[in-house]
Structure 1
Amino acid sequence: MRVLIGCETSGVMRRAFAARGHDVWSCDLLPAEDRSNRHMICDIREVLHLGWDLLAVMHPPCTRLCRSGRRWMSGPGKWTPPKQLPKGRSWPDMRAEFEEGVALFTACWRAPVERVAIENPEMNDLARDRMPADLPKPQMVQPFWFGEPVFKATGLYLRGLAPLSATNRLTPPAPGTEAHKRWSAVHRAPPGPDRWKIRSRTFEGLAAAAADQWGGDARQEAA
């Protein structure tokens, strides 16, 4: 299959599909961390039409679309002035980012590709109001379903793809324990320039499951 992994710089998902023999490329506004020559530096919307069989958009900008960012977008009700804004930000700027997030998500969902998966945290009500009418409820998965001792609820919006099945489900530690704190490292990441990388990185267990279940092993099929 020809596979496009959008909004990924780590290369984790790209390498998982490549290891199974697929013709896979990643795309992001930033360079690939592994300096791969199969990474395009551009807006994903510029390459959606290039004849892909599967599109997996792993980390589209979601800060203004997710539930955790809702308080910055509106006060009580919908689209009332927020009680507080991040330091140095204006409400018009925040709303412009919201509109860009909606536009990017919608373009990827409506891409001329048969199989589509878009990763996004649980959306707030303002974002859901703007989503395409045929967008289904997301499949919510956790890294510990795939052998990674980490808490990070991840929504997968799927078209033409089956929900992922757990491959190595771990038993979460009890709340309040040191193990539980370690599993919560993504949410407990300290503020800083690399916080977004820590919070958005794809885990290898999930990538392997996606490559196996959505793509299969192209090498065996060709044999």
Structure 2
Amino acid sequence: MAIFHPPCTRLCNSGVRWLAERDLWADMREGAAFFLECLNANAPLVAVENPVMHKYAREIVGRGADFTVQPWQFGDPAKKRTCFWTRGLPPLTATSDMQASEARADCHLASPGPDRWKERSRTYPGLANAIATQWGPLGLKVAA
């Protein structure tokens, strides 16, 4: 099993405006090529995590995400839509009864600064735990 969290800087919808303004098209194509290398990894079970992609990256990748989740679905009171492109893995199942109205949009409201990217790119503990507990046993079966 291979689970990837490749850089999303030039692929994500939130940064699409900079492609033309800063002429970052080559960076975007390079990021999309790396994303595809992850997605096409030589493993029977593959997951690639990224935020919502803009249309230019989607055109190169060739498809949208297989499913999306939110941290609040796994017990973390936060809003941050996270997308997964998968092969051989089922969608993650929510582990919390929390509602979107109980979550904050801290990721999107973070103040500008040198560490903003770190906050915006972090994986919340509840989601990480769901990946480990729901997909981990599947990886062990394949390895056996």
Asked whether the two chains share a fold, i.e. TM above 0.5, the reply is: yes
- Out of 108, 133, 136, which is 2:38 matched to? 108
Q: Hey, what's the Cα distance between the residues in 1 that align with 2:91 and 2:131?
A: 9
Q: Hey, what's the Cα distance between the residues in 1 that align with 2:114 and 2:66?
A: 29
Q: Report the Cα offset of residue 128 of structure 1.
A: 1.0
Give yes or no for the alignment of 1:119 onto 2:76.
no
Q: Hey, what's the Cα distance between the residues in 2 that align with 1:203 and 1:137?
A: 19
- Out of 90, 96, 106, which is 2:26 matched to? 96
Residue in 1 that maps onto 2:113: 192
Q: Hey, what's the Cα distance between the residues in 1 that align with 2:138 and 2:34?
A: 30
Q: Hey, what's the Cα distance between the residues in 1 that align with 2:27 and 2:139?
A: 39
Identity of aligned residues (%): 44
Residue in 2 that maps onto 1:139: 67
Residue identity matched to 2:116: R
Deviations 1:89-120 (A, max 9, x none): x41xx112102211110111111011111111
Q: Hey, what's the Cα distance between the residues in 2 that align with 1:95 and 1:217?
A: 38
Give yes or no for the alignment of 1:67 onto 2:13.
yes
Structure 1: segments with no counterpart, 5+ residues: 1-53, 74-81, 174-178
Q: Report the Cα offset of residue 218 of structure 1.
A: 9.1
Q: Hey, what's the Cα distance between the residues in 2 that align with 1:196 and 1:107?
A: 23
Q: 1:213 to 1:95 in 2, by over 3 A?
A: same
When the two structures are superposed, what TM-score results if normalisation uses the length of structure 1?
0.58
Residue identity matched to 1:113: A
SS in structure 1 at match of 2:108: coil
SS in structure 2 at match of 1:162: coil
When the two structures are superposed, what TM-score results if normalisation uses the length of structure 2?
0.88
Q: Hey, what's the Cα distance between the residues in 2 that align with 1:210 and 1:154?
A: 12
Q: 1:136 to 1:172 in 2, by over 3 A?
A: closer
More helix by share: 2
Q: State the superposition RMSD in angstroms.
A: 2.1
Aligned residues of 2:73 and 2:96 also touching (Cα < 8 A): yes
Q: Hey, what's the Cα distance between the residues in 2 that align with 1:123 and 1:190?
A: 22
Q: Report the Cα offset of residue 136 of structure 1.
A: 5.5
Residue in 2 that maps onto 1:55: 2
Aligned residues of 2:8 and 2:50 also touching (Cα < 8 A): yes
